Amino acid sequence: MSDTDDVADAGFDEWLDAAETGDAYYLECANGHGSLPPRRVCLDCGATDLEEVGLPERGEIETFTITHVPTPAFEEDAPYATAIANVGPVRITGQVVGIDPEGVETGLEVELEITVSETTGERVIGFRPA
């Protein structure tokens, strides 16, 4: 791992640690806009004074796609569903776990779960049906 990798993951690895222990959070500016670390500037208004706020336990899948032919980095995980879920004021992208990919649908209520890629052994954001 290079020094550049350390910088790129700064904040995000800490967030993954918090999410694994049930303490996931998002960053909120004074105007109520939400984002996830490592972002330190509000995307909506440019504010830099962001507060950590507990992430709701459940969210809802907004959209998804099923991958049958993956890149080599996720070869052992296929087929799998990747989704964008609305979780409170933030949208999070993750892999849907604990359900056959064909059973995933828009509106499915999910809970955040940090899981491990079968191919890379790296932690990834996952969504488990609630």
How do residues 77-111 score in pLDDT, each as one tens digit? 889 999 999 999 999 999 999 999 999 999 999 99
Residues 28 and 63 in one domain: no
Residues 15 and 62 in one domain: no
- Domain region containing 84: 56-129
Average the pLDDT over 25-38 and give the result.
93
Residues 15 and 63 in one domain: no
Residues 5 and 24 in one domain: yes
Average the pLDDT over 19-29 and give the result.
95
How do residues 52-83 score in pLDDT, each as one tens digit? 999 999 999 999 999 999 888 788 888 999 99
- Give the residue ranges of DSSP H helices in 40-118: none
Distance (Å, whole) CA 28 – CA 97: 28
Indicate the number of domains in the chain.
2
Residues 4 and 48 in one domain: yes
Distance (Å, whole) CA 93 – CA 97: 13
Model pLDDT, residue 5:
45
Residue 114: partners with Cβ closer than 8 Å, 6 or more residues away: 16, 19, 20, 123, 124, 125, 126
Model pLDDT, residue 10:
65
Residues 66 and 103 in one domain: yes
Model pLDDT, residue 44:
93
Distance (Å, whole) CA 122 – CA 60: 24
Which whole-number Å values give the CA distances from 120 to 6, 41, 92, 115, in the listed order? 18, 31, 21, 12
Apex 21 CA angle, 17 and 22, nearest 5: 115
Structure-block tokens of residue 36: 């996830």
Look up the CATH number of the domain holding residue 118. 2.40.50
User: What 8-state DSSP symbol labels residue 70?
Assistant: -
Residue 47 has pLDDT above 90, yes or no: yes
